[in-house]
Structure 1
Amino acid sequence: MQAVKDYHYLTKNRKKLSRAQIEALQLKSLQHIVEYAKAHSPFYQDLYGNQTIQSFEDFYQLPTINKQIMMDHFSTLNTCGLIKENVMAYAVEKELNKDFLGYYQDEYVVGLSSGTSGNKGLYITPKSMTKRLPGVFLSRGGISLSDLPLRILFCLRVFSQGFDDINAPFLKLKYISTMTDMDDVIKQINQGKINLLMAPPSFIRQLLPRHEEIQVKLKKIITYAEVLSKSDQVVFEEAFKTKVIEIYQASEGQIASACKAGHLHINEDLVFIELYDEAGHLIQTPHQVGHKMVLTNLINFAQPLIRYEMNDMIALDEPCPCGSQFRRIEKVLGRSDDNIYFYDEHLKPKIVYSDLFSRWIITTSDLIREFQVVQDDISHLEITLDLLGDFDVNTLKIRLDDELAALGLKGTYTFLIQTLELPKHANKFKRFISRLKKE
């Protein structure tokens, strides 16, 4: 019954709320979590002092935090009295034993994130929240009631009790590691009569060459953990003969989910998202690239993340034809550290966004199963190609030269041909790795 209530509440919010109602709800939620944090978190008591929130302008004056600050002050930031060293020991033991189910102190789901920079992050969610995930998943998981019943194969490097808590009547979720051999993956899809596949795009690309061996009809494919490029989406939909949609979730919160039209909307009632341009100005209009995202989780009071800086880059779009006033995302560009740089004719470094460069590579040939780009120097890239057959890399060189020349840029490349494996110690396969020294 709680799942039904949550489903109707969250569905109504996205469909019915006007912008004015959304902002009123957000301001009230921000005031609530700030006051709760001040009352129950020694860290926020010291950070905020006597500051109060009467308006969004007041909220924007609060200092930001980041992953490093969060981890440095974990024991005093959380509102449950949890000690960082104890929680970390529990999380690492679970990781080493590949035992991802269960609650810490029978009350909390613990997530351990390696992060793109390699520094570990601890994220806790109370059982009272994860037990309500079926309603959240139904309303914001990119599916509809008409898709029920669902037999889901959920693919990620690690599992957690929080994902297991999605199981409910008409929702059956089975986990499989992304390191599983493809023979076994296909066997489990067919024997389990799976009708919803959930996996990162890099995992779907591994399955792509063998899509004809799947004997069941998939209602949908849902991707997460990595950016789903438009070119990948088109290729996946054509091969698997089903709709492919993306949900945008991070350890810090469920940022965005797809509407019936397949467009990503920020979950305005679950998170409060601030976007800033390169000059540090707040972005309020569509089509501007946000170079910094500041997130506030509106619903997790166990570990308040308030004005938490992330390096995710997105651009907003015009209002969606579906009618929802939740802000629509035009494109997810990845992380700011995924960008690559080339000198222009004046020897000034210029950004090329990773999603654009991905499109150039993937659309050059269907023989390119996967790729990885490493940049050590401006204007030079080491590009590893995982190929399905014979391919002349000079074809790709010509394509890249032409595309860069159209932007007034020039690059050089070193090409490697080898199999690319999914990472064993991270949930995300990184197509772009920058080793440029930060100025």
Structure 2
Amino acid sequence: MILILQIQRFLLFHATVELLWSHGKTYKMNFKLRLVRNLIVEVITLQLMCSNIGITLIRKINYRRFWKNLRNSTFYRDYKIFDKLPLGDKSLLMGHFEAINTLQLNKEKAFNVGISAERGERSNSVIGDITIGLSSGTSGNRGIFLVSPIERAQWVASVVMRVIGFQRKKRSVAFFLRANSELYESVKSNLLEFVYYNIFTQLDIHWKELENTQPDIIVAQPSVIKQLILISKANHCPWNVQKIISVAEVLTEEDEKYISQWAKIPVHQVYQCTEGFLAHTCKKGNLHWNSDSIIIEKEWLNSTQYLPRITDLKRTTQPIVRYKMNDIITEGACSCNLKSEVIAHIDGRMDDVFEWTDLNGNMIQVFPDFLRRTIVFAHDQIKDYSLVKSGEDVSLWVDGGSECFESAKLALEKLLLQKEVKTTIYSRDAPWTSKNGKRKRIVVL
């Protein structure tokens, strides 16, 4: 009976998608019509994702379209077997930018348009109808991402149904990031009021507007959310938000606990980057890969942690193929209805693994999660910290004063001695922040 129901759902899904897809190809749809089409697809998709059969069937559809689209990329068009496709990373994607993107857009022109978009020049943020954006450049040189109107509608539908949640009453969304984009503005509708806040502006200034607008949903980096909480406490003005969504930074266990206890609601998380919309939080509060639209190849670091290599089956303008990410993922499990793979933690980046060479010439690695736990468990008053490795030097900043610093310093030195690493830990005057405003607690320079 269950199998028959799944097949019926699949046939409905397949017929609906094919009908709307062909209609969208034949006639030039406006954005609202595309969005309605994709919202319907999302509803059916989420139903199917409650079974392994459903996810397999959806992925087959997306996989077929993926190969059809690769014919439009001069870089990929001659490949016929998935395992023969080149392993990708940022250097490949940027080094072969014009050959990889299916419109053969010029890299220099796209980069200049992306810079204009970050300066707020909305009229210069597109090439034709393609939205251009730049990555934050946390892991090195900045990347360029391209999004078509069709991809924009797909993204909005996925975010509305999987992250924000569909409701018939109008809600306001306060969105804190370093730069706005046509992609984010696409969330605006009769039911969602979208307000962008630049994180480079003093948060005290933004707070006055937040008090007036009283947003229903706040989307921001964990470090920004914590600063807003401190301002709220200082002004004796609690929020009345329905949902808090963490983006752009790793959401640590201690930050999640602190924010959720203060707001009295769970913190949702979105795993979104230049490579695409990769994962979202389910009703149980666990992070799930969007397994219906991405293929995940895993490079295992140990029995529970891996580095993902991502293939996005829905990206058409700029194919993301077997793209190696530096994020360290801890495998998880969940009891919710979704059958997509689960992420227990995003434990930082491989770029932020502390490395030393011991006396025998062996490489010693200490992962960010070990460092984080050592610091936060060193003293119950430690709520914030920065640990930076530059060459052989290690510097530490913690809130809570000298007692907290000494406790964390001793705990770290003990951990490193267990790894046969002896180093001096210096004091930092302030927490580390990148030039683009992104906050990281564990950093290798």
Does the TM-score normalized on the shorter chain lie above 0.5? yes
Aligned to 2:405: 393
Checking the alignment, whether the CA contact within 8 Å between 1:190 and 1:215 is kept in structure 2 is: no
Aligned to 1:412: 423
Superposition pairs for residues 62-77 of structure 1, below 5 Å? 62-77=85-100
Q: 1:384 aligns with which of 397, 408, 412?
A: 397
TM normalised by structure 2 equals 0.83
Residue 29 (1) aligns with residue 62 (2): yes
Aligned to 2:439: 429
SS in 2 for 1:42: coil
Aligned to 2:261: 238
Taking the aligned partners of 1:22 and 1:44, their CA distance within structure 2 comes to: 26
Checking the alignment, whether the CA contact within 8 Å between 1:14 and 1:325 is kept in structure 2 is: no
Taking the aligned partners of 2:264 and 2:256, their CA distance within structure 1 comes to: 11
Checking the alignment, whether the CA contact within 8 Å between 2:214 and 2:241 is kept in structure 1 is: no
- Residue 172 of structure 1, CA deviation: 1.1
Distance change >3 Å, CA 189–CA 271, structure 1 → 2: same
Deviation string, structure 1 residues 164-214 (Cα, Å, up to 9, x no partner): 111112211111111221212221221111121111112123233233234
Distance change >3 Å, CA 312–CA 147, structure 1 → 2: farther
Residue 312 (1) aligns with residue 312 (2): no
- Residue 21 of structure 1, CA deviation: 3.6
SS in 1 for 2:310: strand
Checking the alignment, whether the CA contact within 8 Å between 2:232 and 2:239 is kept in structure 1 is: no
Checking the alignment, whether the CA contact within 8 Å between 2:73 and 2:102 is kept in structure 1 is: yes
Residue 298 (1) aligns with residue 313 (2): yes
Deviation string, structure 1 residues 308-363 (Cα, Å, up to 9, x no partner): 22212212223x21121111111112211111236789774433321332233234
Distance change >3 Å, CA 9–CA 245, structure 1 → 2: same
Q: RMSD between aligned alpha carbons?
A: 2.8
Q: 1:89 aligns with which of 112, 117, 121?
A: 112
Q: 1:7 is aligned with what amino acid?
A: L
- Residue 244 of structure 1, CA deviation: 1.0
Q: 1:340 aligns with which of 346, 354, 374?
A: 354
SS in 1 for 2:93: helix
Taking the aligned partners of 1:132 and 1:36, their CA distance within structure 2 comes to: 16
SS in 2 for 1:307: strand
Distance change >3 Å, CA 359–CA 245, structure 1 → 2: farther
Distance change >3 Å, CA 352–CA 16, structure 1 → 2: same
Distance change >3 Å, CA 132–CA 16, structure 1 → 2: closer
SS in 2 for 1:332: strand
Residue 288 (1) aligns with residue 311 (2): no
Checking the alignment, whether the CA contact within 8 Å between 2:117 and 2:125 is kept in structure 1 is: no
Taking the aligned partners of 1:397 and 1:366, their CA distance within structure 2 comes to: 14
Taking the aligned partners of 1:198 and 1:19, their CA distance within structure 2 comes to: 31
Taking the aligned partners of 2:170 and 2:46, their CA distance within structure 1 comes to: 23
Distance change >3 Å, CA 351–CA 27, structure 1 → 2: farther
Residue 324 (1) aligns with residue 338 (2): yes
Residue 118 (1) aligns with residue 140 (2): yes
Q: Which moved more, 1:109-118 or 1:409-418?
A: 409-418
Distance change >3 Å, CA 3–CA 374, structure 1 → 2: same
Q: Which moved more, 1:264-273 or 1:21-30?
A: 21-30
- Residue 364 of structure 1, CA deviation: 4.0
Q: Which moved more, 1:263-272 or 1:13-22?
A: 13-22
Number of residues of Structure 1 aligned to a counterpart in Structure 2: 410
Q: 1:374 is aligned with what amino acid?
A: V
- Residue 271 of structure 1, CA deviation: 2.1
Taking the aligned partners of 1:178 and 1:388, their CA distance within structure 2 comes to: 25
Q: 1:108 aligns with which of 124, 127, 130?
A: 130
The structure with more helix, counted as a fraction of residues? 2
Unpaired segments ≥5 residues, structure 2: 1-32
Q: 2:257 is aligned with what amino acid?
A: V
Aligned to 1:159: 180
Deviation string, structure 1 residues 211-254 (Cα, Å, up to 9, x no partner): 32344311121111111011110011112322212111111110
Aligned to 1:374: 388
